[in-house]
Amino acid sequence: MLIGAAELLPHLKDRTGSDPGELLEFTDVDALRALEAITERRPGVVAIEKDFAATPRGSALINRIKADPSLTQSEIRIVSQTADPVKVTKGKATEAAAAPAQPPAPLDQRGTRRSPRFRIVGQVEVLVDGNLAMLVDLSAIGAQVLSPTVLKPNQRLRMALSDEHSSVRFNASVAWASFEIPKNTTPRYRAGIEFIDADKAAVNAYLARHKQS
């Protein structure tokens, strides 16, 4: 199975090292269609065009294939018009598929930890630019969220932490973001949010009510 832009597929077919069997043109949402086809047909080789492999959706697709026990026999190859195919080992990502298998490090783990970070108990929803997102962890200066809507690094946004006791609203920005295709759930963005002008006392009070003990 060869995945790439329509205009590149005929040229890439000869570079896969074997007959890919099926050619798939990708668009902004075709990582999901490709995953469905791969899961259903379990091809021996999944060849992915290099530029697509380097996108968040391409990287998420590669990581999803690597994590699926039913696809252990599916070999992943990164192909381009100018180089020989590169095999992606199941233990690590190649340079062409640069997204890590695990989400990027949260804000407070980049360099010196600036504020203690705590996991959140249960399913706690917050508002990120007016859209619901799931709160994963929280500190006085930042948070990690799971969002069904697109979040991009350096994106400025409004955030709200609300419960029956209070509502804390403030400006924030996206420090990092990655696209994920979890098994048996809808695609989502995992993102680290950095608070800009949040009231730390109010955030800490909210955190005390929702953090794991």
Each residue's pLDDT tens digit, 104-151: 444 333 333 457 889 999 999 999 999 999 999 999 999 999 999 999
The percentage of the chain sitting over the pLDDT mark of 70, rounded to a whole number, equals: 73
Mean pLDDT computed over 40-63: 82
95 vs 8, higher pLDDT: 8
102 vs 65, higher pLDDT: 65
Structure tokens at 140: 């006085």
Q: What are 69-86's pLDDT values in tens digits?
A: 888 888 888 887 766 667
CB atoms closer than 10 angstroms to residue 88: 22
- Give, in order, the Cα–Cα distances in Å from 126 to each of 96, 137, 140: 35, 12, 15
Q: Name residue 162's amino acid.
A: S
The pTM of this model reads 0.59
